[in-house]
A and B are shown apart, each in its own frame.
Chain A
Amino acid sequence: MSQAKLSIEHISKSFTEKKGGKVTHALLDFNLEVAAGEFVTIVGPSGCGKTTLLKIVAGLEIASEGAVYLDDHRVTVPGPERGLVFQDFALFPWRDVTGNIVFGPELLKVPAVERVKIAEHYIRLVGLSGNERKYPAELSGGMKQRVAIARALANNPEVLLMDEPFGSLDAQTRSQMQKELLYIWQENRKAVLFVTHSVEEAVYLSNRIVVLSESPGTIKQIYSIDLSYPRSRSDHGFISLREKITGCISENCR
């Protein structure tokens, strides 16, 4: 029995090309354990299978080999205990901010009175007070992503899966959102599995960083970040770690 919240064991994912029948490995023998309350980030060149891994954990894709366990229970299909946040928000345009956030609880038949409380709580947490009745078309990119995070949190998941959630935001909004995500994480202490291609973002947020190699996606190196929160991007230790990991992605790892 492992102590991990989430364990990913020997995951491989291969695709057979329709023409020629050539087999491509997106992921090969991937192993990772995420402890409760731990923030783990996966970085790597584009096309290394980061998103595929996240989808397998979410249950949206099926692994060719290996298994995913949550608290020692094997998971194969999507479930509300694993919340997912996409890069492009994927909000329901016909629902207002509150409507989007309570979507999960609604599906799980949480009573209406309870839902109102949940909505209020998460709207305050992600700093969207005053925007409850706005529709996605009226929101800025940063606000949309806050709604998406709140929506994922509203189901009170045990693990939060985030697929480049800030990738489509401008730099200023992005760093603002990173700060807020850390705040939310510290408030909730969820396990987070975060995918990004920004090393700086990874170093700023994570307890551990997993560097994936390009096809097939295998673990090249795992770094533990011992810097204390909140981290400063101009800090010497921050910069040297960033350089080390960036080098590891493109060339060799130290």
Chain B
Amino acid sequence: MLFLLAWEIAALLANLPQLFPTPVDVLSALYALLIAPGPAGLPWAGELWGNTLISLWRVLVGFAIAAVSGILLGVAIGWWRNARDLLEPIIELLRPIPPLAWIPLAMLWFGLGFTPAVFLIWLGAFFPILLNTVLGMESTPKKLVEVAKTLGASSGQILFKVCVPFAAPSIMAGLRIGIGIGWMCLVAAELTGSNSGLGYMIMYYYSTMEAAKTVAGMLMIGIVGFLMFTALKKMEDNLLFWRVQS
């Protein structure tokens, strides 16, 4: 509240509405965006919700692919020495490349709009999920594996009843990091080769010098990102309740 008041006063004093909108400007911009017609295909949703839905859909698809591929590959690498020897050099080479450096290639391969954005989200979310899965698998204590063996576990049972459950907290942490990075990649992807979504929306209003609407869009990006993160954290706490005891 105090922050909003300070913002309002600072913005009023600066008196540069095109660069530094006041909270009141942003609120009225939010309202204007709510009632403006939505992007192509979603005019009923309004501009703000329409673009939010488009962005969310992209991020969910990209994230889902990243989760499935990252966990499967991570389990494989954590379990089979051969998979590790084969894939680790490739992964170590690709991993340091920032997802945004892939934008030109993404456009070249996948054109414009949905697919390159999904690709970039996948790229951003994939590595943290993969690495956390591998890390979780590899840190399975030897003792637990030995105990399982003496209790009669086959190697498949050791994988699915010991290593994978043990890696679950680490995998969940990977998912949480992954969705955060994926969301950032999405916004960046929508600034290039796109004509819908929240990233595009803020770029549009930046171009037409409507700073209040730009800030309103940024606010939405922040809120949605925060909500996704919180939802995942909640899910994590529910799934992994066994480790949060006194």
Q: Which residues of A contact B (CB under 8 A)?
A: 55, 58-60, 78-80, 82-84, 86, 88, 90, 92-96, 103-104, 106-108, 135-138, 151-152, 155, 161
**A119 → B minimal CB distance (Å):** 14
9-residue interface stretch from B64-72, B122-130, B139-147, B193-201: B139-147
Closest residue to A96 on the B side, CB-wise? B242
**A103 → B minimal CB distance (Å):** 6
Q: Please, which residues of chain A bring their CB within 8 A of the CB of B165?
A: 92, 94
**A61 → B minimal CB distance (Å):** 10
Distance, CA A55 to CA B146, complexed state (A): 9
Q: Please, which residues of chain A bring their CB within 8 A of the CB of B61?
A: none
Q: Which residues of B contact A (CB under 8 A)?
A: 141, 143-144, 146-154, 157, 161-162, 165-166, 168, 240, 242-243, 245-246
Q: Are A80 and B150 in contact (CB under 8 A)?
A: yes
Q: Please, which residues of chain B bring their CB within 8 A of the CB of A84?
A: 146-147, 150
**B142 → A minimal CB distance (Å):** 9
Known pairs A59-B150, A84-B150, A135-B242; A90 contacts B143 (CB<8 A): yes
Known pairs A60-B149, A86-B143; A107 contacts B242 (CB<8 A): no
Q: Are B152 and A108 in contact (CB under 8 A)?
A: yes
- 5 further interface pairs, Cβ-Cβ under 8 Å (given A58-B150, A103-B148, A151-B147): A60-B149, A80-B151, A90-B144, A135-B242, A152-B151
Q: Are A107 and B243 in contact (CB under 8 A)?
A: no
Known pairs A135-B245, A137-B242, A138-B245; A92 contacts B150 (CB<8 A): no
**B149 → A minimal CB distance (Å):** 4
Q: Please, which residues of chain B bring their CB within 8 A of the CB of A104?
A: 151-152
Closest residue to B246 on the A side, CB-wise? A138
Distance, CA A50 to CA B161, complexed state (A): 29
Closest residue to B244 on the A side, CB-wise? A137
Q: Are B152 and A94 in contact (CB under 8 A)?
A: no
Q: Which of A55, A88, A135 has the most CB of B within 10 A?
A: A135
Q: Please, which residues of chain B bring their CB within 8 A of the CB of A107?
A: 148, 151-154, 157, 161
**A97 → B minimal CB distance (Å):** 12
Q: Are B151 and A94 in contact (CB under 8 A)?
A: no
Q: Which of B144, B150, B161, B243 contacts A82 (CB 8 A)?
A: B150
User: 9 A–B contact pairs at CB < 8 A?
Assistant: A86-B143, A90-B143, A103-B161, A104-B151, A107-B148, A137-B245, A138-B245, A152-B150, A152-B151
Q: Please, which residues of chain B bring their CB within 8 A of the CB of A60?
A: 146, 149-150
Distance, CA A132 to CA B37, complexed state (A): 58
Q: Please, which residues of chain A bring their CB within 8 A of the CB of B144?
A: 90, 92
Distance, CA A95 to CA B166, complexed state (A): 11
Known pairs A86-B143, A107-B161; A93 contacts B150 (CB<8 A): no
Closest residue to A136 on the B side, CB-wise? B242
Q: Please, which residues of chain B bring their CB within 8 A of the CB of A152?
A: 150-151
Q: Are A78 and B245 in contact (CB under 8 A)?
A: no
**A141 → B minimal CB distance (Å):** 15
**B75 → A minimal CB distance (Å):** 16
Distance, CA A15 to CA B246, complexed state (A): 42
Q: Are A78 and B150 in contact (CB under 8 A)?
A: yes
**B137 → A minimal CB distance (Å):** 14
Distance, CA A72 to CA B246, complexed state (A): 48
Q: Please, which residues of chain B bring their CB within 8 A of the CB of A82?
A: 150
**A133 → B minimal CB distance (Å):** 11
Q: Please, which residues of chain B bring their CB within 8 A of the CB of A58?
A: 146, 150
Q: Please, which residues of chain A bring their CB within 8 A of the CB of B168?
A: 94
Q: Which of A83, A106, A138 contacts B150 (CB 8 A)?
A: A83
